[in-house]
């Protein structure tokens, strides 16, 4: 069995020193670490889904208040609710974007089948996780700390896989691929938001005001 196959599956062969070291600090196989990272990412996806669902309920409530204010010709109240709704929708779009990006990272990790493509899959995934971390900080309790832990775990996998296989990946190429994935997620998030949310036209307050005094 080759060295990297043993590391991938977690089977080790060695002398007395290696066995003692393994007893003191058991080495987890790369396959297990990648699977663990994917499961922890899926947990964050689930948390984002819960947060998004809660914000969607708030969205429906605010939209209803905006409509009621328009019908009552209360432009001040309508503008207040409309502004709050606009900010909420920005946050929802950001969270949806983060969720889509994490789903792509999870898919990448779950499709790694051999040591040779570890670096190619994980390097951009780490960049994406770092970007998502800044977006969800303050919105999902504990998410920033958990994503940091996932990044550290994947960093370990990168180091170990590089040591075994000698695989390298340019930082510039990694960043470009990660950015491409994030941009794709943003586009999908924007399209879904357009399909889901009723449109608030900026001209409506002015139109309602004209109807009031016209």
Give how far the C-alpha of residue 190 lies from the chain's centroid of Cα atoms, to the nearest Å.
Answer: 15
In a domain, 44, yes or no: yes
Under a CB-based contact definition with an 8 Å cutoff, are residues 180 and 108 in contact? no
In a domain, 98, yes or no: yes
**pLDDT for res 162:** 66
In a domain, 23, yes or no: no
User: What's the rounded Cα separation, in Å, for the pair 207 and 212?
Assistant: 9
> What token pair was written down for 120?
């190619």
Give the pLDDT band of residue 22 (cuts 50, 70, 90).
very low
Torsion angle (degrees, nearest 10) of CA 7, 8, 11, 15: -10
In a domain, 5, yes or no: no
In a domain, 201, yes or no: yes
Cα–Cα distances (Å) from 168 to 10, 22, 37, 52, 127, in that order, read 22, 27, 21, 37, 16
Number of domains in the chain: 1
In a domain, 186, yes or no: yes
C-alpha dihedral sign at 100, 106, 108, 110: negative
Q: Would the pTM count as exceeding 0.75?
A: no
Q: Residue 99: CB partners within 8 Å, gap ≥ 6?
A: 45, 48, 49, 52
In a domain, 165, yes or no: yes
Rounded mean pLDDT, 128-132: 90
pLDDT in tens, 166-212: 444 444 555 677 777 777 777 887 777 777 666 654 434 444 444 44
User: What's the rounded Cα separation, in Å, for the pair 131 and 101?
Assistant: 10
pLDDT at 27 over 60: no
Query: Which residue range(s) make up the domain with 173?
Result: 29-213
In a domain, 24, yes or no: no
**pLDDT for res 178:** 74
**pLDDT for res 174:** 59
**pLDDT for res 168:** 47
**pLDDT for res 84:** 93
**pLDDT for res 212:** 45
Under a CB-based contact definition with an 8 Å cutoff, are residues 123 and 162 in contact? no
């Amino acid at each position: 069995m080759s060295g990297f196959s043993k590391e991938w599956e977690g089977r080790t062969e060695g002398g007395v020193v290696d066995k003692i070291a393994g007893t003191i600090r058991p080495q987890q196989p790369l396959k297990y670490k990648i699977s663990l990272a994917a499961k922890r990412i899926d947990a964050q996806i689930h948390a984002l889904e819960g947060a998004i669902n809660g914000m969607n309920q708030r969205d429906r409530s605010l939209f209803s208040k905006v409509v009621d204010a328009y019908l009552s010709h209360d432009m001040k109240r309508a503008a207040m609710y409309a502004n709050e709704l606009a900010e909420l929708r920005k946050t929802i779009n950001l969270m949806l974007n983060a969720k889509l990006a994490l789903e792509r990272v999870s898919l990448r990790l779950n499709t790694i089948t051999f040591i040779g493509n570890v670096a190619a899959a994980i390097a951009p995934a780490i960049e994406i996780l770092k970007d998502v971390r800044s977006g969800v900080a303050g919105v999902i309790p504990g998410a920033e700390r958990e994503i940091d832990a996932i990044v550290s775990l994947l960093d370990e996998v990168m180091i170990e896989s590089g040591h075994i296989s000698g695989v390298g990946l340019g930082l510039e190429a990694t960043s470009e691929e990660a950015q491409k994935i994030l941009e794709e997620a943003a586009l999908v998030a924007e399209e879904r938001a357009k399909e889901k949310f009723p449109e608030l036209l900026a001209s409506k307050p002015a139109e309602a005001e004209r109807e009031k005094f016209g």
